[in-house]
Chain A
C-alpha cells in the first residue's frame, strides 16, 4: 500500500484544467488518509466552477485508482480563504451593465432608460440604478413621483415602473433641491444603493453613470463586478475625445466595452424631410472601429424622444417597437450584447 506521501507525489501529475500547473502546487489536496479499508482524499478546488471541480475530481480518481487496491473516496471541501468571482454585493443580479460617457449632455440617461425598457421588452427582468447623484434624471424620464419605502430591516425597496425596478438619488431629495456633496459621500450613497436596496432577482441591472471618470464611476467598478459598459456619444470630434476616456476607464478596470451608441446622429426636418447632420456624422462608428469595440447603432435627433422623456413616458413606452425582435434598435442591440457578453 502506498503512503500518503507517495499518493501526493502522484497527484502532482494532475494539472488544473486548461493549464500546465498541478493541483498540489495550489494546496488543493488538503489531506490524504490511507486506511486498511479505503483511501480518503480531501480536495479543496479553490474555484466555484462546478465543471472544473468535476474534472479535477475525475482526474484524481483516475490517477490514484491504479495505485491502490481499496475503495477511494474524494471529499470536496469548500475553498476557505480564496477569493471568488461571485457577487456578494448583488447576489440576485446576473449582469450589471453601466451606461457611460466621457462628457455630459449626450443623452446617457435617455439611452439608459430605453435600453432598460428594450431589455425588458425581450423578457429580461431589469433594474435601473441611477448613479448620477448630482443630476438624477431617471425619475423624471420614467414619470416617478413617489418615494421609496423601506423594509423592516431598513432596506430600501426600489420603485417599480413599466416593469423596471428603479432607484435614484432623485427619490431621496425634494424636487428643486441640489445635492452639494464631496466625493466620499457619493461613495457612501452608491454603496448603499448597491448593498441596501432590495433589488431581488434581476437578469440585468442597468447603471446610469454620471458623466466623466470620477467618484461615482470608481465606486461602481470597485463595489460591483460590472459585466460590461455601453458608451454613449454624439458624433462630433470633441465628444469623441471623451469616448476615448470612457473606453480607457473601462479598460483600466477590466470591464468589457459592449459597444458605442451614437446619439443625436442626425435630424430629419419634419417639414421638408431634409437630413441635417448637426453634430457631423459617423464619428461613433469610426471610434468604435478604432477601439475594436462593437458599434451598436445611431439614434437620430427626434423631438419625440425628448418630449416622451420629459413626460415620463420614454420612447419605448410611448412607441413600443412593432415587434420585440432585437436588432431593430440600437437599444435592443446593446441589450443583446449585454446579455450575451458573459454567457
Chain B
C-alpha cells in the first residue's frame, strides 16, 4: 500500500493535496473529503457509505494516526474521521473516474 510523502492543504483552492510514494498526486477538495468522512458519527454502523453535505468546510489541521491513516480536524469541530491510506486512494480513484464520466457526458 502506498504511503503519503507530502500532505499539503492548499487553502486558495480549498483542497488537500497528497503526494504518494508511488509518485501519484491526489487532490481532495475539502467538501469532497469532509463529505466522505468514514466515521461512525457520519456513517452509522452499517450499510453503504453516503455523502454528508457540509457547507464550506475548512480544514483546521490534519494529523497522522499511527502509520496508516490521516485524521483531519474541520472548522465545524468534527474530528472523528480516520481516513486510512487505502480509503484515501479509493476516494481519489472514485473522484477521478467520476470527473472522467462527467466530461464525457
Contacts and interface: CB of A to CB of B under 8 A. Distances in A.
A and B from one assembly? yes
A25 interface: yes
Contact of A16 (B19, B64, B68): B19
A47 B3 contact: no
Interface residues of B, number: 25
Interface stretch (B28-36, B44-52, B55-63, B97-105): B55-63
Nearest to A86: B64
A81 B9 contact: yes
Given A21-B19, A21-B23, A25-B17, A82 B7 contact: yes
B39 interface: no
A60 B25 CA distance: 21
B3 A46 contact: no
B62 A252 contact: no
Contacts, number: 72
Contact of A254 (B5, B17, B68): B68
A82 B72 CA distance: 11
Contact of B66 (A25, A81, A84, A224): A224
Given A81-B59, A81-B62, A83-B70, A26 B19 contact: yes
A223 B82 CA distance: 12
A223 B67 CA distance: 10
Given A81-B61, A85-B64, A254-B67, A19 B7 contact: no
A45 to B, nearest CB: 9
A85 B68 CA distance: 11
B8 interface: yes
Interface in A16-64: 16, 19-21, 25-28, 46-47
A255 interface: yes
A254 B6 contact: no
A16 B62 CA distance: 21
B19 A222 contact: no
A26 B1 contact: no
Given A21-B25, A26-B17, A254-B1, A222 B7 contact: no
B54 interface: no
A99 B77 CA distance: 36
A255 B67 contact: yes
Contacts of A21: 19, 23, 25
Contact of B6 (A82, A225, A253): A82
Given A19-B5, A81-B9, A221 B25 contact: no
A44 to B, nearest CB: 9
A47 B6 contact: yes
A83 B25 CA distance: 17
Given A47-B6, A81-B61, A252 B17 contact: no
B74 to A, nearest CB: 13
A25 B25 contact: yes
A221 B65 CA distance: 8
Contact of A225 (B59, B67, B85): B67
B6 A46 contact: yes
A26 B66 contact: no
A116 interface: no
A253 B86 CA distance: 10
Contacts of A254: 1, 3, 66-68, 85
Given A19-B5, A225-B64, 16 more contacts: A19-B23, A21-B19, A21-B23, A26-B10, A27-B10, A28-B8, A46-B8, A81-B59, A221-B68, A222-B66, A226-B66, A253-B66, A254-B1, A254-B85, A255-B66, A255-B67
